[in-house]
Amino acid sequence: MRKKISDSDYRIYFGSAQHMDEIKDGEVSLVVSSPPYFNAPFDYPDLFKNYSEYLKLLENLAKQLRRIVAEGRIVAIVTDDMLVKGAKFPIVADTTRAFVDADFKYRERITWLKPKGYVRISRRSGVLLQHPYPMYYYPDNIQESILIFQNGDYTYKERKVLSKKMLEKSRIDLKEYNSDDLYLNTWNVTNVLPLKGRLEEGIAAFPDEIARRLIMLYSYYGETVLDPFLGSGTTLKVAMEIGRKGIGYELDLELQSIIKKKLKVGQNRLDKNFNVEFVVKKDAKKLRTELNKKVGMQKSVT
């Protein structure tokens, strides 16, 4: 049975995104999210029993989003193929397949390019330096995919029904569009390194700029953005900053204090009228301490 819908501007549910029953049909105008990177050795070692369990999560996500996302609107998934124990898992292709099978339109794939040298984990490319012969080529990975799916056809009605003021607040800055090469499907954006002492330590967070671009390009002022895998809370932080409402799900209850810090909950902020609600569901888990212990035991992925 569907739970009572809250009217808070920002709602954060600790519990699995497998059951997003608190969200009304068509309530969400945009989804911006990066699902866990399967069993990524430096983030989520052994989080999933096997790859089929991971695929089920993606398939179920796509099915639920068909109901939750408004007609014609966008789901943006930031993801990448993942190297686990020497073999790459085709996560980009399989995510695309899951959304196409759930009847989403596959609209775009943007490549997010990170600066050279911003490699989080061991430099695989060093192998060839030690063995300068054929078959020792393992390039460093400095890209991810941003997959853009559309929930049916868009009618462009918002432009006609929104007030002049709201429309003005949603207007895209064409100077930025040109100068930051937003008209291209490769985006050069510096990534967040989850270094010791950072708020995002141990969380595979994307930078604010990725969330900001997606929210600005695919939602109108005042609309609701969902992140089913909230992590440190980047999507909702940016949504707050640029005048969108937000909903987040996060399985790991241990991230609650990090999300609160990122959203400046309980701290002085300019706009005190934000209404942020936290709900802990029965299926919330405590993951981070355990995962960090396992990450500490990893040596190299090469």
Are 234 and 259 a contacting pair, CB within 8 Å?
no
Which stretch of DSSP H or E encloses residue 122?
none
Helix, strand or coil for residue 233?
coil
CB of residue 206 vs ligand SAM: minimum separation in angstroms? 5
x/- letters, 105..144, toward ligand SAM (CB under 6 A): ----------------------------------------
Measured CA to CA, the distance from residue 218 to residue 297 in angstroms comes to 41
Residue nearest to ligand SAM (CB): 231
Residue closer to ligand SAM (CB basis): 24 or 56: 56
Q: Which of 17, 69, 239, 240 binds ligand SAM (CB under 6 A)?
A: 17
Binding residue count for ligand SAM, defined by CB under 6 A: 20
The alpha-helical segments, DSSP class H, found in 170-267 are 174-179, 208-218, 234-241, 256-262
CB of residue 155 vs ligand SAM: minimum separation in angstroms? 30
Instruction: Please provide the size of the chain in residues.
Output: 302
Count CB-CB contacts under 10 A for residue 49. 9
Check binding of 54 to ligand SAM (CB under 6 A).
no
Burial class (CB in 10 A: 0-12, 13-18, 19+), 167: middle
Sign of CA dihedral 267, 225, 250, 1: positive
Q: Which of 170, 229, 244, 263 binds ligand SAM (CB under 6 A)?
A: 229
CB of residue 161 vs ligand SAM: minimum separation in angstroms? 31
Residue closer to ligand SAM (CB basis): 57 or 69: 57
234-253: contacts with ligand SAM (CB under 6 A): 234, 249-252
Measured CA to CA, the distance from residue 251 to residue 20 in angstroms comes to 12
Binding residues vs ligand SAM (CB under 6 A):
16-18, 34, 36, 57, 203-206, 229, 231-232, 234, 249-252, 255, 287
